[in-house]
Structure 1
Amino acid sequence: MIWETIKAQAKIHGSKTALICHDKKYTYSELVDSVEKLSATLSTAIRPGERVLFASEKEYHYVRMVLACDALGVTFMPTFPNLSDEIVERIKNASHPNHIILSEDDASKLEPHNKGLMFAKGADDLYTVIFTSGTTGEPKAVPHTRMACIQGSIQNILIQTLTSDDVILSQLPPWTIGGLYLYTLPGLMKGCTVICEMFNARRYIQICKEYKPTIGIIVPAMMLALSKTRGWKEADLSHWRELGFGSTVCPKEMLQELFDKGAPALRNLYGCTETHVPMFTHLATPDDPYPLQIHITDNYDFKLDRYGVAWIKGDCVTEGYLNQETPIDKDGYWCTGDVLETQHNLLFYKSRKTDLIKVNSYNVSPVRVENMFIPHDNVNEVCVTYRDRGLGEKEIVAVVSTDSEINSLELMDFVKDKLFQYEIPKEIIVTKNPLPRNPMGKVQRHVVKEQFVE
């Protein structure tokens, strides 16, 4: 239905720009023609029901490939480009692809199968497999059915009330669930113009001036990068109809800065690779006293266990990892591992359960503490961890990465009045080295602790 819906939009908006990726542009007619030619080529070597592991340095290649796989009834398994051989082997072991296309050379080596094809698309067919590291760094293969991807895309159209007049800026990596199903595919299904480019701070400001996007997302890491560009200070965000934020908890100072620059509404988006996105959301306006609150969306149900960890159930939730056991209870609820808390009779995200730090009987969210550092002009990255004091006691330690000359006393003065006494770091360690990340791109708290604290 995703591919068929986009083809139907081509009949209505044939000459309209459908996809922009740097200097590459497709009208709806050109996009459909390109996908049909690609699927015709692939059909000589790939049969319905097979799995294709795919990567490219060009974002629009992911869009063309997922639609070609849709047309052929083939499972699309995107990953990021330029992986080491070791990581590719881990992903292969996790997902067992029939074909691997990680370069143009790989594509040229596909061998014809010389067999007739029968295209039969079922709602429960495996449509895509997305890879996530969770907290382990080891790739998890997350499968989603055709129906789950259709429902997830439709849900995002409805939540964000997309119309063909919208210009969408999709800057999440196109090998992620958010990169494809939050904006790109829903936007094309609705006849929007979609700008599909990985985030670049200078390019972001240029895009906003040239195309005036109405729907998109911004995360704290993006704002940190933007704050270091000359054009950000004078940036006008009034062209947005709705600007999403997510990935982690955004500091309120950052949200206020977006409002001050003219953004009329900010949407809190909380989702997971396993559930499609978003399962929780909230649309905040400048006068909203609690912009970080979240509400469950249609097609999902949730419950909190005694630790405050959210368990999610819904038609778009994966039925289980391909390569390991999945935390799903007898009632069909999947464990997110995320702690939610109630304040002012409203629901808020707090932290990953495994990241909470016990200090004098208080559960400290490292994300909350990190967010107090992020607005500082000279902070590039921050990771909050702990030092063992013995007898089970812990103390908070913040590790800050910067390329500027700042000291721990300056940073302590910046954050201490924003935190509860038990949240204040006992030590702030400043480094000019980037923080260690796992192969999937996430900061490794345990490695930070080993390198800088122990």
Structure 2
Amino acid sequence: MPDAMTNVGCFLGRLVERESQTVLVHRGVPFSGARLRGEVDAWVERLRGHAVGPGTVCAYVGDYGDGTVSLTFAIMQLGATAMPLAESALANMHDLLAIAGARLLVRFGPDMSAASATVEVRGASPQNALIERFQATGHAGLIVFTSGSTGGPKGILHDCEKVLEKFATVRPGWRTILFLAMDHFGGFNTLLSCFAYDGVGITVPQRLPEPVCHAIEEAAAELLPTTPTFLNMLLASGSLRKSQLSSLRLITYGAEPMPQPTLQRISAAFPNVELKQTYGLSELGVLHSRSKDRQSLWLRVGGEGFETRIVDGQLHIRSVSNMVGYLNAPSPIDDEGWMNTGDLVEEKDGMYRFLGRKSEIINVGGQKVFPSEVESVLLDAPDVVEATVHGRPHPLLGQAVAARVSIAGKEDSNVVVQRLREFCRQNLARFKVPMSFEIVEADAQANTRAKKQRPR
């Protein structure tokens, strides 16, 4: 067991303190602190048998379950470095393992249990220089990868001692749906908060409306941390009409811009639920945030341990809990500790409204178009349930606006395109009106993380 005075030691000690309480609900089965602690201990012995210790990178493929959660905590206890991977990473698994210098690869069966796990010891490979330097600290680490939307994925190394500082003060916990994936920093942050505070983590078999609603209802979940894209899917699915979700007290959303029409509809669908916009980056952590009100996209971000400023319209952040560094790229954090997030924002009275990422701006003949603005207009059109806007090459203008749209019910595609183009003309400047429309099913607009799948 790590020194109880360390952040990791204090965190793992919460399992002992809550030995008789439910800390995890997986596939409807409750796990007490004592039961999960037993699984952690078993993993510690198993990992020690493979010579896992401080600095050892342990990769594992799977989603939330008692096996994956207990393995994560065992890796932390041994001062090793956890590298969670989603099934979607299998295509470039070899490259990711090589970047991190992973020595162990654990694969889980469909039930995500420890009993279903197989451990593969990988052959000797060159150790990453950053990992070697970090190893000297003896601290537990975490590696997550960026999505690779601009270039190849970057490996991000975090010091778990730093990450856990924000959880040092015990606060009331929530019965929380573990929606954000394990290999996503936001998901890791959610998992930690469930156990650091007196909360309960509730797993879902799929990130789709029906199974999520079932999990909320069955386990009396209070908190749903999710994405605007999933909330749109939820509104369009009809699952709300068939579910009893009265236990929900808070819905948090982030990871992508929230369209104003979606926020208004969610607010109407959940009149007694608090709605909160969140903000964070894998490199810097999750910032404290407070929305102006439940129907506003303006929020205050920062708080203890974070500083913010705006430079050329882009948000810059300085954090005490920022990453150790990239494993395979130069650090984006300057000598003074500031990082340019690439997020374009408006500022008013100390509050921010996010406009979108600079890399996603569409340049139409020298005029800028924010995809989120056009998407919000399209979502206000009758029967539109989802819209994704992107730029496409144009021989004269450089780029043109294109839209993928999902509609409710059946309607001739030519009629849909005609009425949507006219609706946009009435509500947007001419250069912002999409030149092309593609009608697709709503589920085709989301990726495996329930985020908008914006064509490149």
Report the TM-score when normalising by structure 2. Answer: 0.82
Q: In 1, Cα distance between the equivalents of 2:144 and 2:73?
A: 15
Residue 27 of structure 2 is aligned to residue 17 of structure 1: no
Which one of 99, 111, 118 corresponds to residue 107 of structure 1?
118
1:42 Cα deviation (Å)? 1.0
Q: In 1, Cα distance between the equivalents of 2:250 and 2:307?
A: 25
CA contact (8 A) 2:345 2:353 kept: yes
CA contact (8 A) 2:389 2:401 kept: no
Q: Which residue of structure 2 lines up, in the alignment, with residue 267 of structure 1?
A: 276
Residue 149 of structure 2 is aligned to residue 135 of structure 1: yes
Q: Which residue of structure 2 lines up, in the alignment, with residue 214 of structure 1?
A: 222
Q: Which residue of structure 2 lines up, in the alignment, with residue 452 of structure 1?
A: none
1:332 Cα deviation (Å)? 1.8
Which one of 412, 429, 435 corresponds to residue 421 of structure 2?
412
Residue 78 of structure 2 is aligned to residue 72 of structure 1: yes
The verdict on how the C-alpha distance between 1:266 and 1:331 changes in structure 2, with shifts beyond 3 A counting, is same
Provide the secondary structure at the position in 2 that maps to 1:445: coil
CA contact (8 A) 1:100 1:106 kept: no
- Paired amino acid for 1:56: G
Which one of 160, 170, 185 corresponds to residue 177 of structure 1?
185
Unaligned runs of 5+ in 2: 1-5, 110-115, 123-133
Q: In 2, Cα distance between the equivalents of 1:211 and 1:438?
A: 23
CA contact (8 A) 2:180 2:226 kept: no
Provide the secondary structure at the position in 2 that maps to 1:188: helix
* Count of matched residue pairs: 426
1:398 Cα deviation (Å)? 1.5
1:71 Cα deviation (Å)? 0.9
Q: In 2, Cα distance between the equivalents of 1:222 and 1:442?
A: 9
Q: Show CA shifts across 1:18-75 (max 9, x none).
A: 1012134311111111111111111111222211111125544331111000111110
Q: In 2, Cα distance between the equivalents of 1:219 and 1:126?
A: 29
1:235 Cα deviation (Å)? 5.5
Q: In 2, Cα distance between the equivalents of 1:297 and 1:426?
A: 43
Residue 358 of structure 2 is aligned to residue 384 of structure 1: no
- Paired amino acid for 1:189: A
The verdict on how the C-alpha distance between 1:145 and 1:344 changes in structure 2, with shifts beyond 3 A counting, is closer
- Paired amino acid for 1:67: F
CA contact (8 A) 1:123 1:147 kept: no
- Paired amino acid for 2:368: N
Q: Within 5 A, what are the aligned runs for 1:287-326?
A: 290-306=296-312, 308-326=313-331
Residue 49 of structure 2 is aligned to residue 41 of structure 1: no
Q: Within 5 A, what are the aligned runs for 1:423-434?
A: 423-431=432-440, 434=444
1:207 Cα deviation (Å)? 2.6
Q: In 2, Cα distance between the equivalents of 1:241 and 1:358?
A: 41
Q: Show CA shifts across 1:223-250 (max 9, x none).
A: 2322343331466655333221112111
Q: In 1, Cα distance between the equivalents of 2:348 and 2:364?
A: 21
Q: Within 5 A, what are the aligned runs for 1:361-400?
A: 361-374=366-379, 377=383, 379=385, 382-390=388-396, 394-400=399-405
1:125 Cα deviation (Å)? 3.0
Q: Show CA shifts across 1:2-31 (max 9, x none).
A: 653354334443222110121343111111
Provide the secondary structure at the position in 2 that maps to 1:206: helix
- Paired amino acid for 1:346: M
Q: In 2, Cα distance between the equivalents of 1:82 and 1:231?
A: 26
Q: In 1, Cα distance between the equivalents of 2:137 and 2:274?
A: 35
Report the TM-score when normalising by structure 1. Answer: 0.82
1:400 Cα deviation (Å)? 3.0
- Paired amino acid for 1:141: G
- Paired amino acid for 2:202: I
Q: Show CA shifts across 1:233-288 (max 9, x none).
A: 466655333221112111222222222222432111111111111x26223544x6
Q: Show CA shifts across 1:125-182 (max 9, x none).
A: 351011112422522100001222212545xx78xxx414x3112211112111121x
The verdict on how the C-alpha distance between 1:14 and 1:74 changes in structure 2, with shifts beyond 3 A counting, is same
Greater alpha carbon shift after TM alignment, 413-422 vs 364-373: 413-422
Residue 67 of structure 2 is aligned to residue 61 of structure 1: yes
Q: In 2, Cα distance between the equivalents of 1:297 and 1:356?
A: 29
Q: In 1, Cα distance between the equivalents of 2:252 and 2:371?
A: 23
Which one of 335, 348, 359 corresponds to residue 340 of structure 2?
335
Q: In 2, Cα distance between the equivalents of 1:441 and 1:265?
A: 21
Q: In 2, Cα distance between the equivalents of 1:327 and 1:304?
A: 16
Which one of 50, 56, 61 corresponds to residue 56 of structure 2?
50
CA contact (8 A) 1:133 1:440 kept: no
CA contact (8 A) 2:390 2:403 kept: yes
Which one of 150, 171, 193 corresponds to residue 186 of structure 1?
193
Provide the secondary structure at the position in 2 that maps to 1:135: coil
CA contact (8 A) 2:58 2:105 kept: yes
Provide the secondary structure at the position in 1 that maps to 2:419: helix
Q: Which residue of structure 1 lines up, in the alignment, with residue 32 of structure 2?
A: 27
Greater alpha carbon shift after TM alignment, 20-29 vs 347-356: 20-29
Q: In 2, Cα distance between the equivalents of 1:180 and 1:345?
A: 29
Give the share of equivalent positions with the same residue, in percent.
18
CA contact (8 A) 2:360 2:390 kept: no
Unaligned runs of 5+ in 1: 112-119, 447-454
Q: In 2, Cα distance between the equivalents of 1:441 and 1:230?
A: 19
Residue 205 of structure 2 is aligned to residue 204 of structure 1: no
Q: In 2, Cα distance between the equivalents of 1:206 and 1:6?
A: 30
The verdict on how the C-alpha distance between 1:418 and 1:212 changes in structure 2, with shifts beyond 3 A counting, is farther
CA contact (8 A) 2:309 2:317 kept: yes
Q: In 1, Cα distance between the equivalents of 2:349 and 2:430?
A: 21
1:428 Cα deviation (Å)? 2.1
The verdict on how the C-alpha distance between 1:332 and 1:210 changes in structure 2, with shifts beyond 3 A counting, is same
CA contact (8 A) 2:229 2:450 kept: no
